[in-house]
Structure 1
């Protein structure tokens, strides 16, 4: 049953007055009322207690609905090495005002032989937009910097022999005609690239968390004169998840670094079976995830085992178990009390109190989980021909606003249908059936509202932007209810946050194309 209730019907009222001595009539009419609907919201009564009340809101016109759905969207296509055309579409819809999500993309060019580093990232802020907006500016450059350090070291990486036989063989001459072993660059090795990603994430969060502490170590006499007071404090006190993908086109490598509960999925097509498959590339990192629960409990004393996660949240408060910022879960209680005294003047109010169960911080880490896989469809320097046709075709990165409402399988079906040319209002049962799921669906994720909706109701294929296409269909409601979509989008911030979340979506796909195109450059 929908959480929104219609409360209007077209009304036509008129009255007639009979003119004296005539047979004419004067008709008076009132214009029909604007369409509206009701929602149940939590509010405080006169005694300060919370209670549910009903609010009546105006319903957006169809034109206004389209304007709001398409207000924040973008697209780009570039043709790069091997004649591969890369495409990406983005879209966002806010539930908070201002939106707390951000996105970033960059291509770091290398030479023709080495290919490119292609970066795509989505950031899901919470408790404010300060952390996510900072990450939008610095996360990709920080990762590129760490990778640059690997590439600038000319020392070859050759594993040392371990056994006596391997040591002996290392001193023997190579058989006649055998090629000498080729040195490996650190940037060619997924192990070192993963370390570079983790190091970059750690360095960024360290700067965010430690910036206010540097002011605390040498506080000015008047904090209002300190220009870096709020710029350093606000990103530490708010927080953000981050999901970053790196495509190394030279080495045919895909890296996905996930901190938090945003998710990345990939879609592959098998031309022999004519079927699509979905690969979940990340694991939702929340207190409901058994792996995260075990990890956090192992990092704290045994007597905190029952308190580190409460109701699926860190210390009963924060939902993601990994995040940038969120210093309330990382600083000691004493430090937070000192900072509250120092910054309360420039904040205009006291700092939020530490969580009640805070004993042995930190409880939240920014350390990402790294997923690596090969991109077999790309040509390489060793083999100019691309890999097998049965390969990855697209990636979807999105904040949890999308995954709250659609499953990974539904998203792959919607994208694959779009790429196959499906358009119009389509029964869900006619879309390609997802036959494989390489990875647990969301891994203890928040269940989407319509996990079984693949075979029920309809999908809408009317947008020319793939990310907006996903956004629209995520808001349809069970069975493809367009009225639900219209109402959900009509709810203004901040009321909207009780019914949907900020949502940011990036869809990346590739195809053969020999037409030159401008490229997006990031000179880092």
Structure 2
């Protein structure tokens, strides 16, 4: 497949600039290290010496500053359901703007939908699906046939939404893709009735997002996961011990089972080119997502359309587009179809924790983010009410995750934290932040037994609002009869 000049030139320029930029950054960093250390307090006489020397600059924060930063993104939702006391959410950003989003809605008279959406490349896809996905799920549940299970309905909703995100993108351009040239693609946006809307549609399709959500209907808890976020059910046994169990697996190339599944979807002669370094084409570290259309379009779009979309959108992946094109044979390489599960709530079930991968990265130590993180989450949430730091359990989870073996993360020593202010200052202030941690978004559903009617106190948990009833919106696009996922026939009309 020939690679467009714009793709090659952009990639070459990106490599050259990134190399030069890295050299300048390292020299500037080395030259300023001592000054930064003195300014930021690494060797400040006001603070005790560090147990482990760490030369990377950071800014000392006071305990009050730490609390303010951790609590800035917290909130709580009231819900009038027999099995739910409250829903809490908290978020600490790393990217600017933050790429994670979240939502909590009521569906029908007794249904609760809560999800977290881990954006990548940009925030617009996760921002789009935070309200659209609950609407698509509600529509599908409303129209569910007797033979269709709730899990199937939710799975269909996920796939329908992503198909519509793609459909809107395709609808912008002329049908005969093989005859398109650069001007045709650019005119499709410039001469659109609403160029700004067309540009947004493109960006929403280019940006990507994972989605992990639960739907609770009475005692029936359904989980759906597209990508590498996670949902864990936490229970307290009769003997007082706590346990955490992942409700649904992650879709990740780092997971050997999922990697094998992904490779099996393509011809055997592609097996050696699809996954490198636990990433698709060595680039993207998730095995399922919304958007990310550069891994889903028909082959002709890689050459005829993507290089000529508005450059602001193209530039988000231009530096590595050539690496997609060279191995692009039998798309799609990503799907929005989620893994799903059903759990019947039992006595002892206390919390449902839904978190983007930024949380689980802090709690586990291998590439697959093993089940040890599930149990760690249970242990951390078990200390929430007995502690004196956080009234919001989602904020509590973020605080404790950032301190979990934090010295290990900073200097390679896996030991307990002895100076929480020091370690939290490092975790919250080091720049560029994305090198040290991801956006972290956590939603905690506090469960209750039917006979337990004690209300949540809602003090110092952030803004408190009643969960809204979701309004079913029209679909983003009119479904087409042709197979848009393969795109083969459509591109030849």
Q: TM-score, normalised by structure 1?
A: 0.68
Q: Which residue of the other structure, out of 206, 210, 231, is the alignment partner of 2:167? A: 210
Offset at residue 408 of structure 1 (A): 1.4
- Secondary structure of 2:210's match? strand
Equivalent residues of 1:405, 1:474 under 8 A apart: yes
Does the residue aligned with 2:305 lie in a helix, a strand or coil?
helix
| Whole-Å separation in 1 of the counterparts to 2:258 and 2:45 | 52
Comparing 354-363 and 57-66, the one that deviates more: 57-66
In the alignment, what sits opposite 2:224?
257
Q: Please state how far the C-alpha of 1:520 moved relative to its aligned partner.
A: 2.4
Indicate the residue corresponding to 1:402 in structure 2.
Answer: 359
Aligned length: 385
Q: Which residue in 1 is equivalent to 2:138?
A: 144
Contact 2:203–2:313, Cα closer than 8 Å, also in 1? no
Counterpart of 2:74? 73
Post-superposition Cα deviations, 1:189-211, rounded to whole Å, max 9, x if no partner, equal: xx521111111111110111221
8 Å Cα contact 1:92/1:503 also seen in 2: yes
Residue equivalent to 1:235: 204
State whether structure 2 residue 307 is matched by structure 1 residue 360: no
Equivalent residue, structure 2, for 1:328 = 294
Q: For residues 382-393 of structure 1, what are the structure 2 equivalents within 5 Å?
A: 390-393=347-350
| Residues 1:92 and 1:238: Cα distance change in structure 2 (over 3 Å) | same
Higher relative contact order (CA 8 A, sep 6+): 2
Query: Which structure features the higher share of strand residues?
Result: 1
Residue aligned with 1:236, SS: helix
Supply the distance in 2 between the matched residues of 1:350 and 1:338 (Cα, whole angstroms): 18
1:216–1:342 distance in 2 versus 1, CA, 3 Å: farther
> Contact 2:59–2:426 (CA<8 Å) still a contact in 1?
no
Aligned with 1:118 (options 103, 112, 115): 112
Q: Which residue of 1 aligns with 2:60?
A: 59
From 8, 14, 17, the counterpart of 2:38: 8
1:56–1:10 distance in 2 versus 1, CA, 3 Å: closer
Paired residues for 1:151-190 under 5 Å: 157=146
- Alignment partner of 1:274 is 2:240: yes
Match of 2:20 in 1: none
Q: How far 1:77 moved relative to its partner?
A: 3.2
Superposition TM-score, scaled by structure 2 size: 0.72
Question: Is the Cα–Cα contact under 8 Å of residues 77 and 85 in structure 1 kept in the other structure?
Answer: no
* Distance across 2 between alignment mates of 1:9 and 1:521: 47
Structure 1 346/510 Cα, relative in aligned 2: closer, same or farther at 3 Å?
A: closer
Q: CA deviation at 1:348?
A: 8.2
**More displaced 10-residue stretch of structure 1: 307-316 or 476-485:** 476-485
Counterpart among 423, 448, 451 of residue 484 in structure 1:
423
Higher-Rg member (1/2): 1
What's the secondary structure of 2:469's corresponding residue? coil
The Cα RMSD (Å) is 3.0
* Partner-residue secondary structure (3-state), 1:307: helix
Q: Quote the offset at 1:255 in angstroms.
A: 0.5
> In 2, are the aligned partners of 1:223 and 1:229 still within 8 Å (CA)?
yes
CA contact (8 A) 2:165 2:204 kept: yes
The match for 2:150 among 175, 193, 202 is: 193
Q: Distance in 2 between matches of 1:314 and 1:10?
A: 39
Q: Distance in 2 between matches of 1:362 and 1:220?
A: 25
The CA distance in 1 between the partners of 2:455 and 2:56, in whole Å, is 54
Q: For residues 241 and 9 of structure 1, do their structure 2 counterparts lie closer, same or farther at Cα, with a shift above 3 Å needed? A: closer
Q: 1:499 aligns with which of 415, 433, 436?
A: 436
Would you say 1:463 and 2:390 are equivalent positions? yes
Maintained 8 Å contact 1:10/1:33: no
Matched, 1:520 2:467: yes
Q: Is the partner of 2:468 in helix, strand or coil?
A: coil
Question: Is this contact kept in 2: 1:101–1:504, CA < 8 A?
Answer: yes
- Structure 1 137/350 Cα, relative in aligned 2: closer, same or farther at 3 Å? closer
Write the distance in 1 (CA, Å) between the matches of 2:214 and 2:316: 38
**Maintained 8 Å contact 1:473/1:480:** no
Q: Deviations over 1:474-497 (max 9, x none)?
A: 1111413511211110125xx000
Alpha-carbon separation, structure 1, partners of 2:311 and 2:37: 47
Q: 1:262 to 1:230 in 2, by over 3 A?
A: same
Equivalents in 2 of 1:349, 1:410: separation in Å?
39
- In 1, distance between residues paired with 2:316 and 2:128? 23
Q: 1:320: how far off?
A: 0.5
Q: Which of 256, 264, 283 is 1:317 aligned to?
A: 283
Which structure shows the bigger proportion of residues in helix conformation? 2
